Amino acid sequence: MGNKLLLDQGSGGLASHRLVNEVFFRHLGNPILGRMDDAALLPRPKGPLAVSTDSFTVDPIFFPGGDIGSLAVHGTVNDVAMLGAKPLYLTCGFILEEGFDLDDLDRIVASMGQAARKARVKVVAGDTKVVPRGTADKIFINTTGIGEVVASPSPSGHRARPGDVVIISGSMGDHGLTVLSCRQGLAFDAPVESDCASLNHLILKLVTGLPAVHVLRDPTRGGLATSVNEIAQQSGVGVTLEEDAIPVKPVVRAGCDILGLDPLYLANEGKIICILPEKHAAKALTIMRRDPLGRDACIIGRVGAENPGKVVMRTGLGGRRLLGMLEGEQLPRIC
Amino acid sequence: MGNKLLLDQGSGGLASHRLVNEVFFRHLGNPILGRMDDAALLPRPKGPLAVSTDSFTVDPIFFPGGDIGSLAVHGTVNDVAMLGAKPLYLTCGFILEEGFDLDDLDRIVASMGQAARKARVKVVAGDTKVVPRGTADKIFINTTGIGEVVASPSPSGHRARPGDVVIISGSMGDHGLTVLSCRQGLAFDAPVESDCASLNHLILKLVTGLPAVHVLRDPTRGGLATSVNEIAQQSGVGVTLEEDAIPVKPVVRAGCDILGLDPLYLANEGKIICILPEKHAAKALTIMRRDPLGRDACIIGRVGAENPGKVVMRTGLGGRRLLGMLEGEQLPRIC
C-alpha cells in the first residue's frame, strides 16, 4: 500500500479488493460484511424498521472531538434512534479523491469502527469509489442506518401537543462552532470541542422508561431554531422557548459573538430535543441526567395551541420575538 | 427557483426545504418520505433483509440509455435483488456542487422517480448536501436499498458447486463502452447504448420458479471476468468459460477493438450471472428469455472442482487461458 490513494483502488478489481481488505475489513469487518455478496443478508427484524441516510462532507475532516468517520457513524445512528429505535446496522459509501492520504483514510475508518462498536451497530455493506483528483474534496462518506423500532407509538415531529414541554439534553452550538473555528484557524481562550456522539443508548433508556415521549429530534444542520420550527410546523402547534434556559457554553457564546453567529442556528451532533407531556418531564430529566451525554439536560420551553407553526422566544428581558428557520447558509460542509 | 444551485439550498434551512419540496418530493414523494422525521418508519418486513449501498459518480451524468439518476436506482435495486430478494425501499443521498444546473437536477431526479416506479421501490429517506464549487463534480448520488429475501436459501457467491452451469442474461460491455465513448466523444458506426435496467422483476420470477439457483451476481465494475473470479474464489471452485458463447454486440466489440479494451472487463448495469445445477438450466433459460431483459440469455460456462479459485477461458481455437480479475483501472467513474 502506497501513501496516496490511486484510481485503481476504486476500480472494483484487484487493487480495490486489496484496499477493502487492508483498510475497510480491518476496522469494520464482521461475518455479515465478510460475505462479500452484492447485498448483505440480515435476519428478519423483530419490529418495524427505522431507516435514515446522510452524506458527510465536513471540512476539515479532522476536528477537536471527532472526524468525518466518527461523525458519519454518530449522525446516522442518532437519526435512526430518534424514532425510538435501536440502531442495528449501517452501510457506508465512500467517495474518495485520487491522491487522498492513505494514513488519513486508515485513521478515519478506524474511528468509524470505534464509533460503531461503541454504538453497537454493525457495518453490513459498503462501497468505495475513487474519483480523479479535483473532482471531490478528499473524502465524502454516506452512511445509511437501519434499526428496529422499540417505542410504540414511535416518537415523531408530528406528535407535539399543547401541554408538552421541550427538553434539550445539553449545550447548543458546540459542533458548529468547533468546525468553523478550525476552518478559520481561530483559537479561542478556552478549547472548543465537537459534541459528536451516538445517543442511541440514552434514547433507548428514555423510550423504554417513558412510553409517553412525543418527539425526539437531533438539532443538526440549521440548529435548534430550525429543528423546533420544523416540529411546530409538522405538529401544527406553537412553541415558546425561554432564551435564558437554553444552555450555551461560555466559550461557544464568546466565539459566536466574535464571528457574528447565533448558537441556536449552529449544528449539534450529540444532542436531543425531547418533547413530552409536562407530567413526565421530571422522569425524563432524571433518565437523561444519569447518562454522561445528557448531564446538562433541562427544560427550555413549552408547546401551546397559540401561534401554530411558529416558535416564539421569550428573552431574558421579558420580550418576545419570533424565532425563524435558518435562512441562507451560515456554514457549508458542517457535517 | 433559479437556474443554478446555491450553497443555501443545502443548508438544512429554508432554502433546503424549498429545494426538497420543489424537486425531490415532486418526483420521489410518497407518504413515508413525506413524514420528514429524522428517519423513515417502515412496517416490519416479512422475511430476512437484503441490504446494499452504492455511490454513483458516473461521468458523463447523461448518456445514451440512462443517466446518473436512473443508474443509481437500477444499480442498487439489482444488488438487492441478487440475494433472491424483492427490493422495497431506497434511500438517496445527494452531494451536489454549488452552481449545478437545476434543470439537470430536475431531469435526474425525475429519471430516478421513473426508474423507482418501474422497479416498484419507494424512496423512503433522503439527504442533500451542497458543497462549494470545485469540491465535487456536479452530482454524486448514493442509494441504499432494502429488500425482503424471498429465496430460501438465498443465492450467494459462496454456493457455486461442481456440476453447475454459468448463464448470463445478455450481452457484455454495453454500459462500459457507452460511457467511455460518450466521454471520449467517439462515434461508432452503430449507436451503442447502456444496458442499465432494474432486473428485480426478472429475478423474482427466476427464484420463485427455481429454488435451485445457487448464485446470482450482476457483473458491474470489473465486468464479467472479475465477477466470475470473485465467485470462483468465494465458492472454492474452478469455472471454465467458453469464449465463443459469451454474447458481445458487434458494435461493442468493434468499439473495444478500437480502444484496446476487453468487453469482459467492462461494466454492465442490466445483466445477471446466474449459476445453478445443469438439470435446471433449461428452465432458467426459458424464464429469462421470456423477459425482454433476458432475451439473449445463454449458457457460457461450467463449474468444476479443478483449478479452485480460478477462471479458465476456452478460446474459439480450442486453446485455454487463465482469465484474471481486473488489474488497474480501465475506466474511472463508470458508475
Length of chain A: 335
Of A52, A265, A332, the CB nearest to B38: A52
| Helices within chain A (DSSP H only) | 14-19, 26-28, 31-34, 68-81, 102-119, 174-184, 200-209, 223-235, 250-259, 281-290
- Asked if pLDDT for residue A142 goes beyond 70, the answer is yes
What is the structure's pLDDT at B189?
A: 63
pTM to 2 decimal places:
0.96
- Yes or no, beta carbons of A226 and B12 under 8 Å apart: yes
Substitution target in B51, B220, B262, B273 with the highest count of A β-carbons within 10 Å is B51
| Separation between Cα atoms, residue A49 and residue B125, nearest integer Å | 12
- Asked if pLDDT for residue A1 goes beyond 60, the answer is no
Of B44, B129, B154, the CB nearest to A57: B129
Residue A84 in 3-state DSSP? Answer: coil
ipTM: 0.96
- Yes or no, beta carbons of A83 and B158 under 8 Å apart: no
Mean local confidence (pLDDT), B215-237: 97
Substitution target in B61, B122, B144, B326 with the highest count of A β-carbons within 10 Å is B144
- Yes or no, beta carbons of B13 and A333 under 8 Å apart: no
| Separation between Cα atoms, residue B272 and residue B215, nearest integer Å | 10
The 10s digit of each residue's pLDDT in A273-301 is: 999 999 999 999 999 999 999 999 999 99
Q: Which domains does chain A have, with CATH numbers?
A: 7-149 (3.30.1330.10), 164-322 (3.90.650.10)
What does the longest C-alpha to C-alpha distance in chain A come to?
67
Of A8, A79, A80, the CB nearest to B329: A8
Chain A: residue nearest B46 by CA? A44
Of A154, A156, A327, the CB nearest to B13: A327
- Yes or no, beta carbons of B51 and A146 under 8 Å apart: yes
Name which of B63, B175, B333 is nearest A97 in CA terms. Answer: B333
- Yes or no, beta carbons of A332 and B130 under 8 Å apart: yes
**Looking up cell 444496458, which residue turns up?**
B195
Substitution target in B30, B32, B121, B142 with the highest count of A β-carbons within 10 Å is B142
The 10s digit of each residue's pLDDT in B317-335 is: 889 999 999 887 767 788 9
| Separation between Cα atoms, residue A297 and residue B118, nearest integer Å | 47
Q: Are A295 and A285 in contact (CB under 8 A)?
A: no
Mean local confidence (pLDDT), B215-222: 95
Burial, A250: exposed, middle or buried (Cβ in 10 Å; 0-12, 13-18, 19+)? exposed
The 10s digit of each residue's pLDDT in A67-80 is: 999 999 999 999 99
